[in-house]
């Protein structure tokens, strides 16, 4: 077992011990932490298997040339529209967006497009937007989207260009 895996396991076991001790001494904050962990874990179990299957199918079915053509460095403004639409139909938030962003990067999407996609995936998901409209109203949601979409687009382009100028490469074989 690698050193980083031992550290992660130690942290997880420490958390489990903390929750167990909280149960025996009736420490409510510790119990709430444990309950929240279980709720998030169970919600992830509902979403992630299907999402990873879809991401795997995306990796197999979508050719690298297609991604480069539509989302690569020379794809133009339409690339941002494509990732806006992709983010709108995504489920699972960043749990799904990060692995899909890795797949897009491996297939040749530009860093600017990937950063924009990651930002969009947090703000434009259609189910969450509908939910927001029902609670906060259409006017609020429209203003929020009209402000945040251009901001994420701008920062995605800026961050991508900065990193591409520095010839930044993502290392997917991290041993830490």
pLDDT tens string 66-86: 999 999 888 889 999 999 999
Q: How far apart are CA 91 and CA 121, in angstroms?
A: 9
pTM: 0.77
What is the per-residue pLDDT across 15-49, written as a single tens digit (0 to 9) for each?
A: 999 999 999 999 999 999 999 999 989 988 888 88
Are residue 153 and residue 80 in the same domain, yes or no? Answer: yes
Residue 40 within a domain: yes
77 phi/psi in degrees, rounded to 5:
-65, -25
pLDDT of residue 12: 92
Same domain, 103 and 154: yes
- For residue 142, is it within any domain? yes
* Residue 55 forms part of a structural domain: no
Residue 16 and residue 130: Cα distance in Å, rounded? 37
Same domain, 30 and 97: no
Q: How far is CA 140 from the centre of its chain?
A: 24
pLDDT digits (tens, 9 = 90+) for 114-151: 999 999 998 998 888 999 999 999 999 999 999 999 99
Question: Is there a domain that residue 52 lies in?
Answer: no
Nearest to 54 by CA among 113, 111, 95: 95
Tally Cβ neighbours within 10 Å of residue 7: 11
Q: Residue 49 has what DSSP assignment?
A: H
Question: Can you give the pLDDT at residue 35?
Answer: 94
Output the six-digit token pair for 32: 């709430």
Examine the pLDDT at 176 and tell me if it is beyond 70: no
161 found inside a domain:
yes
* Domain range for 176: 62-176
- Let me know: does 23 contact 31? Beta carbons within 8 Å: yes
Alpha carbon separation from 41 to 37, 50, 77, 121, 162 (Å, rounded)? 6, 15, 38, 21, 36
Predicted local confidence at residue 58, as pLDDT: 87
Claim to verify: residue 42 and residue 91 sit in the same structural domain = no
Instruction: Place 164 in a pLDDT band, splitting at 50, 70 and 90.
Output: confident
User: For the residues of 126-170, what is the DSSP string, one character each?
Assistant: HHHHHHHHHHH-HHHHHHHHHHHHHHHHHHHHHHHHHHHHTT---
């Amino acid at each position: 077992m690698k050193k980083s895996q031992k550290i992660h396991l130690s942290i997880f076991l420490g958390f489990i011990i903390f929750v167990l001790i909280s149960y025996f001494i009736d420490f409510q904050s510790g119990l709430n932490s444990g309950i929240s962990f279980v709720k998030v874990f169970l919600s992830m179990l509902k979403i992630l298997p299907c999402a990873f299957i879809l991401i795997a199918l995306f990796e197999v079915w979508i050719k690298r040339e297609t991604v480069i053509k539509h989302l690569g460095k020379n794809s133009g403004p339409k690339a941002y529209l494509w990732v806006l639409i992709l983010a709108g139909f995504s489920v699972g938030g960043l749990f799904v967006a990060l692995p899909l962003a890795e797949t897009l990067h491996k297939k040749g999407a530009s860093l600017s497009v990937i950063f924009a996609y990651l930002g969009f995936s947090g703000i434009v998901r259609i189910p969450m937007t509908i939910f927001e409209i029902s609670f906060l109203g259409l006017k609020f949601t429209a203003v929020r989207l009209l402000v945040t979409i251009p901001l994420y687009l701008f920062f995605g382009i800026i961050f991508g260009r900065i990193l591409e100028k520095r010839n930044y490469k993502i290392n997917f074989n991290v041993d830490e």
